[in-house]
Structures are given as C-alpha cells and as structure tokens.
Amino acid sequence: MSGFSFIHAADLHLGSPLSGLATRDAELARRLATAGRQAFEDLVTQAIERRVAFVVVAGDIYDGDWADNTIGLFFARQVARLDRAGIPTILVRGNHDAESVITRSITLPPSVHVFPAARADTLRLESLRVAVHGRSFQARAVEENLSLTYPAALPGWFNLGVLHTSCTGHAAHETYAPCSVADLTARGYDYWALGHIHEYAELSKDPWIVFPGNIQGRSVRECGAKGAVLVEVADGRVTGVSRFPLDRARFEQFTVDLSDAADTSAALETVEKALRPLAEVAAQRLVLVRVHLTGTTPAHDALSADRDNVTAEIQATAHRLHEDIWLERLKIETRRPRAPVEASGAAIDPAALLADLDRDPDFRSRAKAALAEIGARMPATAAAEADLEAEFDALCAEAEALILGRLGGRHC
C-alpha cells in the first residue's frame, strides 16, 4: 500500500451568519458574511496544492435549508475544482443538513460521494486500498448509536470511518448519535473522521479518533483557531495528523485585571498591553475580541459612568495595534474599592444604599422585565448583539456610577 494523505474537515455550516459587529460597519459586515465561504474555498485550494488523495467532510456542510440556490451553487463550484484536480470528496450529512432538513439540491460532480442515511455503507477506493465507511443523518435529531451499525473493517485495507456524532458528549453541543471511544475502537478502523463538536479534539491515537472542529468560528462562543486536519498514511498506518488554520475571522476573549490601574488612563494602558499579541494574528485575518475588565480599582466609577467613551478608546487602542482587530464587546466587571468607615463624613453612604438596591430581588425582577420589554421592541439583530439580559449587572453598575458621579463624589 503506497503512501497518501487526505484532508479531514467538518462543520462547514455554509450559510451560517457570524454574530458580532455586523450592524456597526458595512465593510466589516461584508467580510464577516463571506468568512465561512472563503474558509472552505481555502480548504479546496490547500487540498489541490497539497495533492491530497481525497477530502472527507464529516457532516453539517450547510447550516440548514437553503433560502435559495446560492449556497448550493457555491459548494458545487468548489467541489468541481476538486473534481477537475482528480480529488474525490466524501461526505456524510449531519444534524444541520440531514436528509429531512435540506429540501433543495444541486447536481454535484460524480467524484462526490454522499453516504446514505438508511444504513451504513462502504466506499472502496481501489487504487489506494482504502475502505471508507459512513452513514448520514436522516433527521435532525438522531438518538441511535450509529457507530454500532458500521461494518467490520476490511482486512488488508486502510479503514476510515466517517461519523457525525457528539460521541461522549460536550456541554456546548446537543447529544446526537452518541457513542463511546470503545464503540469506535471495536470497529477495527485505522482512523475515525468525526464531526459535530466545534473544537479540535483527539479522543484516541490508537486508533486515531479526531474532531477537527469547524472551519470558521461563528461567534465569541467559538474562540481560537479553526480549520481542518491533514492526515498522512504510509503502509496502511497513520503516520501524521496535523492541524492547519482556515478561519478568515477569529474570535477571542481577554480578561484584563485592572487592580493596579489608578485611573482610566492607566486602565487603557493595561488593556493595550493585554491585546498586543493579537496584532500577529490579525496579520492573516479579522480578529474580533471581547474584553472583560475585572478587578477592584479606583477607576471603576469612571469606567462604568462613561462606557461609550471607554469602548471607543479601547477600539482605538485595538486599531493602533492592527486595523483588523475589532472590539466585539466590552464587559465592565470591575469593582469599587471599599471606603474605610472612618473616611466617610456622610451620615448616609450612597454607594452602600445603591449596592443594597442592586441586590434587592424585587428591584431586579422589575428591572429585568423592563429590559425584556425594551429588547422585544428592538430589531432582532440589534437585540442579539446587545444581549441586554446578559448585560444586566453591567447596566446596573453603569447606572450606579452615573448616580454617584452626579452626587459629586460624596461616596468616597
């Protein structure tokens, strides 16, 4: 058996919108809208340049049913590039693009093989002595352990299983086609190409059982590098598994401790130092960063009372580092230093009163109901980005800082 390589990808989610900043900058919105498609286009380019034997996509090619034929035509155009290069594309359907979900279709090149949903099947690549085993999702929710329906390994062949599954489970993803590492190992395959979990994971190296993650993060809940894996095979055994990035927009989260910041200027300097490593990442792609400001700092009131200006200053800081670093959201979670009792000349401590009010269950209930009403009147995209419920405590802190500011600093 001669040596060869193949690409294992999953969770393309073509047609899925990226969240964050879309309403703030038209050019940025355009780049975010095309990031997922560009990532897959880059995958195809890499497959051709690396001269891989085939490409495997382990489910969720599409994010859901097509609004029109645009996404289907895009995918057909890209796999046609692989077809012209003599590279087969091997697919299973996942929960987002199950047979019952996708109602439209575009004729794909003959080199594209989609596994059926009714049963597990085997595709033999005779020239490579490779047996690829797979089964698609028939419906969005599959509770059956599909791995148990896969055929036994073909002796003397390189056996590759392709499966969309939550496997042993993941807190951020629904449980579909659950199975265990022992279930997969029992099939006797040399490599399992899994999909569904959007983070890279190696569940086993004997045999190799791999989640490549998705090729493009879709929100700040999917941070870090995203891409696919190159698998190298020699003499019927996996000799190398290496990740390569494809994402055109990367989400990151930074927690910045401002405990040592005496004022707003020092706080901004601390943020700039924390964000500096992102400049190298932004040289290759958009970077969208959520910044959490934490710590007990004298700058708390100034930061909370002028959130819009602080946000603008941090965005300007990010752009000084690189024009493609964008502030996805700022979360101010700092605290005011507790004033010594003897330092307060006032008979009533306004800060303490406001803190008690903030903790009052009746106040919180009524305030959250008011925020929900405001959110219901906002456009859906704006409401999703504002996420008022998640920002409740930050909004209370901002209101508290404004009130204390109006009182002329009598709280300290």
For the residues 97-122, what does the mean pLDDT come to? 94
d(CA 338, CA 335): 9
pLDDT tens, position by position, 185-235: 999 999 999 999 999 999 999 999 999 999 999 999 999 999 999 999 999
Q: Quick check: 278 and 287 in contact, CB under 8 A?
A: yes
- Mean pLDDT along residues 66-83: 95
Tell me which of 14-28, 47-61, 150-164, 333-347 is least confident. Answer: 333-347
In terms of Cβ atoms closer than 10 Å to its own Cβ (0-12, 13-18, 19+), residue 200 is middle
CA distance 332 to 305: 10
Q: Which helix (H) or strand (E) holds 281?
A: helix 278-282
Using DSSP bridges, classify how beta strands 89-92 and 54-58 pair: parallel, antiparallel or unpaired.
Answer: parallel
| Domain residue spans of the chain | 3-247, 249-338, 348-411
Where do runs of H (alpha helix) occur along 283-407?
A: 300-305, 307-321, 350-359, 361-377, 380-386, 392-406
Q: Residue 84 pLDDT more than 50? A: yes
* 51-64 residue pLDDT tens: 999 999 999 999 99
pLDDT band for position 339 (cuts 50, 70, 90): low
CA distances from 40 to 79, 113, 228, 252 (A): 10, 18, 10, 21
User: Quick check: 211 and 174 in contact, CB under 8 A?
Assistant: no
pLDDT of residue 123: 98
More confident residue, 368 or 333: 333
122 alpha-carbon distance from chain centroid = 32
Question: Residue 376 above 60 pLDDT?
Answer: yes
The confidence score (pLDDT) of residue 209 equals 98
Cα-atom radius of gyration of the chain, to the nearest Å? 26
Structure tokens at 274: 């924390």
Question: For 35-40, what is the mean pLDDT?
Answer: 96
The pLDDT confidence band at residue 381, using thresholds 50, 70 and 90, is low
The residues, ordered by sequence, that sit 6+ positions from 364 with a Cβ below 8 Å of its Cβ are: 358, 392
Task: For residue 79, count other CB atoms closer than 10 A to its CB.
Answer: 23
Segment 81-87 shows an average pLDDT of 98
- Is residue 18's pLDDT more than 90? no
62: which DSSP letter? Answer: B
User: For residue 125, is pLDDT > 90?
Assistant: yes
- Residue that has been written with the tokens 């969005």 in this structure: 140
pLDDT category of residue 410 using cuts at 50, 70 and 90: very low
pLDDT of 383-397, one tens digit each?
Answer: 555 566 666 766 666
Structure tokens at 113: 């093989």
**How many residues are present in the chain?**
412
- How does pLDDT run across 267-318, given as a tens digit for each residue? 999 999 999 999 999 999 999 999 999 999 999 999 998 899 999 999 999 9
Q: What is the CATH number of domain 3-247?
A: 3.60.21.10
Backbone conformation region of residue 263, classed left if phi is above 0, alpha if psi is from -120 to 50, else beta: beta
Position 5 pLDDT exceeds 60: yes
Antiparallel, parallel or unpaired: β 286-294 and 325-332: parallel
Q: What is the pLDDT of residue 372?
A: 77
Please list the residues that pair with 231 across neighbouring strands.
6, 241
Q: What's the CA gap between 334 and 294, in Å, rounded?
A: 4
Residues 56, 198, 189, CA angle at the centre, nearest 5°? Answer: 40
Q: What integer best gives the mean pLDDT of the chain?
A: 88
Determine the pLDDT at residue 186.
Answer: 96
